[in-house]
Each structure stands twice: as structure tokens, then as C-alpha cells.
Amino acid sequence: MSALRQPSSNTPYDVAAVRKDFPILARSVHNRPLVYLDNAASAQKPRQVLEAMTALYENNYANVHRGVHFLSGAATELFEAARETVRAYINAASVDEIIFTRGATEAANLLAQTFGRSRLKAGDAVVLSQLEHHANIVPWQLLAAERGITLKVAPIDATGQLILEEYEKLLTPEVRLVAISHMSNSLGTILPAAQIVKLAHDRGIPVLLDGAQAATHMPVDVQALDVDFYMFSSHKIYGPTGIGVLYGKKKWLDMLPPWQGGGDMIDTVSFAGTTFKPAPQRFEAGTPAIAEAVGFAAALDYVNAIGRNNIMAHEKALLDYATQLLGDIKGLTLHGTAADKGAILSFTLEGAHTQDVGMLLDRQGIAIRTGHHCCMPLMSHLGISGTCRASFGLYNTFEEAEALATGLRKAAELLS
């Protein structure tokens, strides 16, 4: 255990009480207490989420929107209440700006197939950054191959922060969209979103922010950011898998054509032609993820009850403490040292393959992520094949940060 003293908390944050809400944290792995540090990939779920989904299935389940019977009405009310919960969580102006998707990945594809196919043509360009997750690269590459558009990539500096001056230089007249992460899933870098949006808007360019990480770790206000589109997933915010959100300003959504066809997104259908409902229903074909929406809302309610600023302060203290602990380990290199970053630590051990490090930590009950983290272009830029990534959440403790450091010292000894 490190000689560093654990930081004292200045917030009314009871992490022991929080942990009691997460049943899985009480289990052991390889006869060791579970230390779950893979939250950037997917976070664990509190009882409140599990109970909300179970209650729907046990008491109020039916298909939504089209039924006239009691259960359909009850399920519809819960489903649409979840949409309002999401709206309030990011301070969207209207529930009509909240589209439920299967996750951030589907949100990016939806936008590429609606905004991209209806508004982009050969010679147009989309600006990305070197920090992007594959989910915010590949959909635009597919569109580029189909439409002949160009992808421009904004560079980062040695700390992993976006170089704003270089980003601004890319905002030339042919750019029709900026699609950039709000927070890096690999390095934890929090990008200057408000400046990114303003610089683009000054040139009449709309902006998509990938908030899959940011929406978990910090307050997000889409109106204050003035962002045109924002996407994130439930499962990283302590909710269920299989559901996420694409937020879009109403003025944009009203212009965009549907992507998938099917039930519930139509107004009238004949073999001669079809008319469609307004947003968001126009983009939600078929039976939605009803229980998942209810669980998603329960997760957001849970986070709000603890307080996002309290969570931020707790995670910041964890990040600072863990950064100091890992800095003492011989041969360990931290990747991503921007001054403004979330509770993610990416690192490599000299002479050790990341997968070997991850497996040795797993035998000690410590779950981290290893590999390229769906950021292969970023890894190529850094000159490495991948990193080990420890990512903290609202239920992690200073003792777990110490366990990580202790485990890494053991791994370093075994692999040296």
C-alpha cells in the first residue's frame, strides 16, 4: 500500500452507502474482492434500475403507443416519462428533441444516414478528431465511400488535448459537419466543447458531440453548449444496455428524413406511398426498448439523487490519488495527461503486453480494460498498439485505487 495519504472528502458523499446499492460489487473474483475499474466500457447497475425494470415486467408491461387497453396506456406513460427524464438530464428544450436509439453507436449511424445522406455530397467534408471512438469514425467513412465526401482530422497535443488552433484551420467552406468527442473514452480528455461549437457555428457549421463518456461524468447542458446534436448511451450511466439517445435541435430533426421504416414511425401507409410522423417518432421504427427506457430513467434519477457535482468531486479525488500512486511505479507510462480530464487512466508497462497486465490484475480480482479501446487511429498516433485502462465510477474507492497500484507493482515484477 502506498505511503500517500488518502484525500479527505469535502462533499457529503457516502461511497459505502452507494456501494450497497450495487449487488454485483459484493461478489468475489478468483477468491478476491471484486475491484471493478472497467466503467468506461460499461458501468454496473444499482438495485433501483433492476427493480424499475422488474416492476415494469411484473405490473405494467405491454407494447406502447398504439394500444387502447390499460396496460398499453401504463407502459406508454412510463416510456414517455423516461423520455422526459432524459430531456431534463441534458436540459434539452423539448422531449421532441430526444430520439431513443440502441446506443451512441446507433445514434451516430442514424445521423450519418439521415443528415449525411440528405445533406452531404461529393466534395463536402466532415471534421473529426484524433481522439474519436470507432463509432464516430466508421459511419462517416461508410458515407465517404458512398458519397465522395472528405474526412478531416483535428490533431491533439502531447497531453491528449485538442489543438484548437489547428481545429479552427480545418473549418473551411466545404465543411458541413463537425463530429467530435466531448470526452475521450481512451484518454479521459475533456474537450473544450463550448469553444468547439462556437468556432463551428461562427462559420455556419453544425456540430455533433459524442457524449458517451461525458454524460456519465459531468453535467451536460445542450442548450448552454448550443450544440446541434448530442449522443450518449444508457449502459455507461449505470443503466441497461440496448438503449441510448440522439439529441437533435428541433429545427434539424424537422428537416431530416427517416432512416428505418416500420411501425409507429408512420402517419399513413398505402402501396402508393407513405407519410411519416414528426420527430422523434419518425426515427423510432418498431417496438422500442420499453423496459430499457424505464431502467435508463431510473439510472438518471439515481445519478441525480446523489448529485452530479458530488460525483464529479469524488471521481476527481480518485483520479488525482490514483495518478499519484501509479506515478511511483517503475516502467509505467501514463497516456493522456491533459489538465482537464475525466476519471480514466490509460497506461502501459515497459516490456509488458497490455493483455498480460490485464490478466495478471484479473487474477487479483481487479477488472480493467486492455487493447485499443475502439480507438485504433489514436493508438497509431501514440505509436502503441494499445493501453491498459482503469476507469473509475461513482462507487469506486480510494482503497480500490491502492489495490490497482499494488496489483500493478506485482505485475511489473512478474513481467520484467
CB 114 within 8 A of CB 165: no
- Give the model's pLDDT for residue 415: 85
pLDDT greater than 60 at residue 64 = yes
- Give the model's pLDDT for residue 6: 65
The residue ranges of DSSP E strands in 182-262, in sequence order, are 207-210, 229-233, 244-248
Q: What is the DSSP letter of 29?
A: E
pTM: 0.96
The predicted-structure confidence for 103-148, as pLDDT tens digits, reads as follows 999 999 999 999 999 999 999 999 999 999 999 999 999 999 999 9
The predicted-structure confidence for 368-381, as pLDDT tens digits, reads as follows 999 999 999 999 99
Asked if 374 is an active-site residue, the reply is: yes
> What confidence category does residue 10 fall into, taking pLDDT thresholds of 50, 70 and 90?
low
Third-level CATH fold of 49-304: Aspartate Aminotransferase; domain 2 (3.40.640)
Cell of 416: 520484467
Q: 15-33+308-415 is classed in which CATH architecture?
A: Alpha-Beta Complex (3.90)
Q: Which residues pair with 233 in a beta bridge?
A: 244
The predicted-structure confidence for 65-100, as pLDDT tens digits, reads as follows 988 999 999 999 999 999 999 999 999 999 999 999
- Give the model's pLDDT for residue 11: 56
The rounded mean pLDDT for the chain is 96
The predicted-structure confidence for 291-340, as pLDDT tens digits, reads as follows 999 999 999 999 999 999 999 999 999 999 999 999 989 999 999 999 99
The predicted-structure confidence for 199-243, as pLDDT tens digits, reads as follows 999 999 999 999 999 999 999 999 999 999 999 999 999 999 999
- Give the model's pLDDT for residue 2: 40
> Domains of the chain: which residue ranges?
15-33+308-415, 49-304
Read out DSSP for 330-390? Answer: TTEEEE---SSB-SEEEEEETT--HHHHHHHHHTTTEE-EEE-TT-HHHHHHHTSS-EEEE
pLDDT greater than 60 at residue 8 = no
- Give the model's pLDDT for residue 29: 96
In the set 374, 376, 384, 415, the catalytic residue is 374
The predicted-structure confidence for 176-192, as pLDDT tens digits, reads as follows 999 999 999 999 999 99
pLDDT greater than 80 at residue 251 = yes
Q: How far apart are CA 248 and CA 401, in angstroms?
A: 38
Q: How far apart are CA 362 and CA 20, in angstroms?
A: 23
- Going by their DSSP bridges, the two strands 175-181 and 125-129 should be labelled as parallel
* Residue 20 CB partners (closer than 8 Å, separation 6+): none
Q: Which residues pair with 388 in a beta bridge?
A: 347, 370
Q: Do domains 15-33+308-415 and 49-304 have the same CATH topology?
A: no
The predicted-structure confidence for 158-167, as pLDDT tens digits, reads as follows 999 999 999 9
pLDDT greater than 50 at residue 1 = no
The residue ranges of DSSP E strands in 17-124, in sequence order, are 28-29, 32-33, 35-36, 98-101
Q: Which residues pair with 208 in a beta bridge?
A: 179, 229
Q: How far apart are CA 184 and CA 343, in angstroms?
A: 11
- Give the model's pLDDT for residue 66: 85
- Using DSSP's 3-state secondary structure scheme, residue 71 falls into helix
Nearest to 35 by CA among 47, 23, 25, 43: 25
Q: In angstroms, what is the C-alpha Rg of the chain?
A: 22
**Is the N-terminal amide bond of 280 cis, ω within 30° of 0?**
yes
